[in-house]
């Protein structure tokens, strides 16, 4: 183990925010889920006891009849905002005094940085470049991520869980978001930061970054493994494989989405457009882990080869 190497990556000033992120994301996941489970227990009790449901104030926070349901913004909210502003300023001050912003040598186009890394929050995109061509990883997929995020409210027809933490009432939505945000986006950022070294080669944590290391990866295209040589054959074969993948994934998503009676109820509320959109975005999202497995384990570069684009 080369602890110095790991320490160097971790303490790089621009990487400190990621270390912070690795700490705060699990904390807030726990913090949110804890409230979700508390609400779920309350929901269980209310569902078991219809009389209680009629009279209960339906929150886990304490409430007694006669208490005002609203409080004055001044002072109850403003003092919190003021306090938070002071705390944030203090944290920023300490951070800025103790840690200097990085400044490398002057820009020099003839001296390539190795590894040349994007800012950490874009490392997910840079890591995607390993699995997809730039037009996919750099343009199409980021656009789809943004559009996919924007249409979430219009695809999610589940009316429950509006304005309170819950897991039980929104299992599919929460798993889908966790998968996209934590498993894919954040882990890609972490891989891009901690794992990728010179030449964008995979170095395990604690492995020394060897600037002279060369890996002659025998990357293959899927059609080649089946001995398909003509361009027409490759195009058709690749299209068929991607189509088959989309079909199988869509069926899997459908199976999960209609897992229990409640999920089927929500499914029945969806219009055809809503459901097709949901399937489109989830299947596209699953392209990434599929390509990761294909590339990292089976050394497959392209699945679908055509004269115009490769996937």
Partner 1 sequence: MADDLKEQKPAGKGVALIDGVLKEVKNLKDKALDDVQSLKKPQKTQLFKSIFRVTHDEKPRNRALGILSNVFLHLHPAKINRDAVAYNYTWGMGGITFYLFIVLTFTGVLLMFYYHPTKVQAFRDILYLEHDVPFGKLLRNMHRWAAHLMIITVWLHMFRVFLTGSYKKPREFNWMVGVILMLLTMLLSFTGYLLPDDQLGFWAVTVGTNMARATPLLGHEGPLGPELGMTAFNDVRFALLGGSIVDSNALLRAYIWHCIAIPLIAGIFMAVHFWRVRKDGGISGPAPVMLESEIKKPRRF
- The angle that helices 141-155 and 123-131 make with each other, rounded to 10 degrees, is 110
28 scored as a contact of partner 1 (CB under 8 A): yes
Question: What is the separation of C-alpha 308 from the centre of its chain, rounded to a whole number of angstroms?
Answer: 29
Segment interacting with partner 1, rule: CB under 8 A, options 107-115, 220-228, 243-251, 275-283: 107-115
90 scored as a contact of partner 1 (CB under 8 A): no
Which residues in the 40-59 window bind partner 1 by CB under 8 A? 42-43, 46-47, 53, 57-59
35 scored as a contact of partner 1 (CB under 8 A): yes
Cα–Cα distance, 22 to 16 (Å, whole number): 10
293 scored as a contact of partner 1 (CB under 8 A): no
* Residue choice 134, 205, 206, 243 for contact with partner 1 (CB under 8 A): 134
Segment interacting with partner 1, rule: CB under 8 A, options 76-84, 235-243, 276-284, 285-293: 76-84
* Residue choice 7, 90, 154, 204 for contact with partner 1 (CB under 8 A): 154
Please name which of 43, 60, 58, 54 lies closest in space to residue 262, comparing C-alpha atoms.
Answer: 43
Which residues in the 252-271 window bind partner 1 by CB under 8 A? 262, 265, 269
Span between the terminal Cα atoms of the chain, in Å: 37
Q: Which is nearer to partner 1, 35 or 207 (CB)?
A: 35
Segment interacting with partner 1, rule: CB under 8 A, options 60-68, 222-230, 287-295, 296-304: 60-68
Nearest distance from C-beta of residue 279 to partner 1, angstroms: 19
Token output for 185:
């986006």
Please name which of 118, 174, 116, 172 lies closest in space to residue 142, comparing C-alpha atoms.
Answer: 118
* Residue choice 1, 4, 52, 118 for contact with partner 1 (CB under 8 A): 118
* Residue choice 55, 64, 66, 101 for contact with partner 1 (CB under 8 A): 101
Q: 123-162 burial, b for 16+ CB within 10 Å, e for fewer?
A: bbbbbbebbbeeebbbeebeebbeebeeeeeebbbbeebe
Q: Which is nearer to partner 1, 129 or 250 (CB)?
A: 129
Q: Which is nearer to partner 1, 208 or 271 (CB)?
A: 271
99 scored as a contact of partner 1 (CB under 8 A): yes
111 scored as a contact of partner 1 (CB under 8 A): yes
202 DSSP 8-state letter: B
Report whether the peptide linkage leading into residue 75 is cis, meaning its omega lies within 30 degrees of zero: yes
User: Is 160:166 a contact under the CB 8 Å cutoff?
Assistant: yes
């Amino acid at each position: 183990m080369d602890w110095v190497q790991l320490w160097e990556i971790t303490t790089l000033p621009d990487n400190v925010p990621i270390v912070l992120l690795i700490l705060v994301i699990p904390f807030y996941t726990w913090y949110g889920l804890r409230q979700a489970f508390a609400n779920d227990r309350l929901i269980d009790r209310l569902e078991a006891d219809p009389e209680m449901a009629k009279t209960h104030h339906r929150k886990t926070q304490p409430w007694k009849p006669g208490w005002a349901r609203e409080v004055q913004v001044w002072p109850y909210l403003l003092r919190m905002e003021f306090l938070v502003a002071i705390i944030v300023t203090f944290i920023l001050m300490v951070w800025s005094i103790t840690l200097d912003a990085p400044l490398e040598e002057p820009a020099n186009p003839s001296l390539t940085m190795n590894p040349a890394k994007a800012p950490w929050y874009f490392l997910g995109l840079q890591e995607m470049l390993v699995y997809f061509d730039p037009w996919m990883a750099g343009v199409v997929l980021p656009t789809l991520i943004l559009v996919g995020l924007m249409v979430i409210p219009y695809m999610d027809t589940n009316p429950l869980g509006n304005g309170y933490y819950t897991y039980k009432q929104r299992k599919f939505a929460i798993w889908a978001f966790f998968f996209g945000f934590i498993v894919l986006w954040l882990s890609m950022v972490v891989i891009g930061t901690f794992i990728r070294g010179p030449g964008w080669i995979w170095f395990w944590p604690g492995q020394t970054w060897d600037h002279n290391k060369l890996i002659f990866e025998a990357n293959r295209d899927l059609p080649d493994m089946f001995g398909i040589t003509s361009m027409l054959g490759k195009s058709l074969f690749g299209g068929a494989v991607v189509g088959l993948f989309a079909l199988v994934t869509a069926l899997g998503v459908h199976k999960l989405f209609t897992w229990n009676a409640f999920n089927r109820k929500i499914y029945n509320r969806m219009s055809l457009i809503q459901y097709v959109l949901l399937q489109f975005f989830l299947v596209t999202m699953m392209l990434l882990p599929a390509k990761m497995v294909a590339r990292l384990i089976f050394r497959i570069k392209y699945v679908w080869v055509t004269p115009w684009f490769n996937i």
